[in-house]
Amino acid sequence: MRRTLKTPKEKLETKITKLVSENNAITKTRNSVKVGTDTLFSYSETFIEYSRKRYYPTKIDNIVEEDFVVYFPLTNENLSLLSSNISNPPKGAKLAIDLFRKYGYANVSKIIIGAQENTINGNSVSVTKQFYDTVTNINKEESKDKAVRFQNRIQPFLQSSFNIRTTTQSVNRDYSLLLEEIIASGQVSQQDIMSLTNNLEIGNNINVVVERQIVKQADWLIEKIEEILDEGKLTIPKAKDLGNTHFGFPKSSVKGPEHLMEKILTKYGKYILFGVPVLLNTDKYVVNANGLPRSQFDLILINHLSDVEVVELKRPDTTVLDYDENRNKFYASKDLSIAVSQAERYISAVYKDNDEDYRINNQKIKDFLNSQIGGSMRVDICRPKALIILGSYMTIAQDYYSLEDETRRRISKDDYSTNYLQAYKELKEAYKNIHILTYSELIDNAKTRLLTDEE
């Protein structure tokens, strides 16, 4: 099952442990790192803040005081910005703060790196990771360029005076960085960029561009879904906020947690999560002749064999298994039982395509699907299946510590976990033509497919 992922703070503490073990002068307190009585940096679950003190063990006066502090919001992405020796902030921090001081903000004494947006507020400047990377990359390139220009210009004097022969060197330009500079200049339009991409030759280069964009979006989507799963219990307001913050959905368009996942999977799930050529959200009822609701498909997938799989989505925070504490038995939760019943009806609805009672948008199911595909392929319904997606690795069963005291005295946490995982595996194999997945498994499958494609 899912490996427990380290939090950013846990990853930082691993770095701190290594730092302390390699230098006896450095000590760690509860949430800070010191040399003697001087605090180098403090940290919490959400940030790491470097003080004005810098530690240089090879100098006689090994503590140097700067005139600014450096603050990093603690995220996995921002951890990559820290130096390999985390006792001091990365050198790029001084480079960035000096840049602002040079151009009219001499009183800046704090820089926040890896912020959500670029802002200046009083004596504090916030820069995004993208801006910080751009500044440091330009500095690296210009430093190399300066060294090469010096060597090329001095080369004739070395040869004439000392008969020392050297070869002329050149700098390999980072053209992607140059393109960013061009875009930032505001001198090109979107049409110019489109014209440029249209002129790329078909072949390896353009394939790399497309593949990198696909991988970038896949990583982003997986990360955002994991953040939703990590939220735990979801309320309707929280689902609306998450949909708006992470995906830009208007809050009024999100009805609740289940509907949020439906919107996400409809918009982004076809290739990245499901890996199918066709994904449809009918958003319609399948009704009988009297107009009464019979079934509602959340999503319909059409695989590469032109067969159909109907998808029933439930909340990402719902429990998959319920537990009878008296009998020490796990069984399908109410939400899962309802989903299984709905899935059975969906499969029957697809099987009964010739039954006039079953309609989508006043069309037979097969005719409706073919009308949506647009002639690119024909639906051949031979083995329709259903896929139920609900819960996560954290909600396969109720939390051990929520059980009654008497129950926890009878069964250990490890035995409880082993039993519910086994029960879940058995339940997944119990239904014919119905596949059960948690949202965690869905994104793990996507990660595996993505890794295989990259290799």
Q: Where are the domains of the chain?
A: 8-127, 209-454
CA pair distance 334, 177, nearest whole angstrom = 54
Q: What is the pLDDT of residue 19?
A: 92
Q: Contacts by 50-54 with C-beta closer than 8 Å and gap 24+?
A: 50/88, 50/89, 50/93, 54/88
Burial environment of residue 405 by CB neighbours within 10 A (0 to 12, 13 to 18, 19 or more): exposed
3-state secondary structure of 49: strand
Residues listed for the chain: 455
Q: What is the pLDDT of residue 40?
A: 96
Q: Contacts by 250-258 with C-beta closer than 8 Å and gap 24+?
A: 256/315, 257/315, 257/316, 257/317, 258/313, 258/314, 258/315
Residues of the chain with pLDDT under 50: 1-3, 285, 289, 292-294
> 117-140 b/e with 16+ CB inside 10 Å = b?
eeeeeeeebbbbbebbbbebebee
CA pair distance 433, 340, nearest whole angstrom = 11
pTM tops 0.85, yes or no: no
Q: What is the pLDDT of residue 289?
A: 46
Name the residue among 87, 97, 86, 79 with its Cα closest to residue 136: 97
Q: Sort strands 321-324 and 47-50 into parallel, antiparallel or unpaired.
A: unpaired
Structural contact between residues 267 and 254, judged by C-beta atoms closer than 8 angstroms:
no
Beta strands in 285-348 (DSSP E): 285-287, 293-296, 299-302, 308-313, 321-324, 329-332
C-alpha count within 13 angstroms, C-beta hemisphere, residue 70: 27
Max CA separation in the chain (angstroms): 102
CA pair distance 315, 330, nearest whole angstrom = 20
Q: What is the pLDDT of residue 314?
A: 93
Q: What is the pLDDT of residue 73?
A: 93
Q: What is the pLDDT of residue 206?
A: 55
CA pair distance 113, 72, nearest whole angstrom = 5
Q: What is the pLDDT of residue 25?
A: 92
CA pair distance 331, 324, nearest whole angstrom = 8
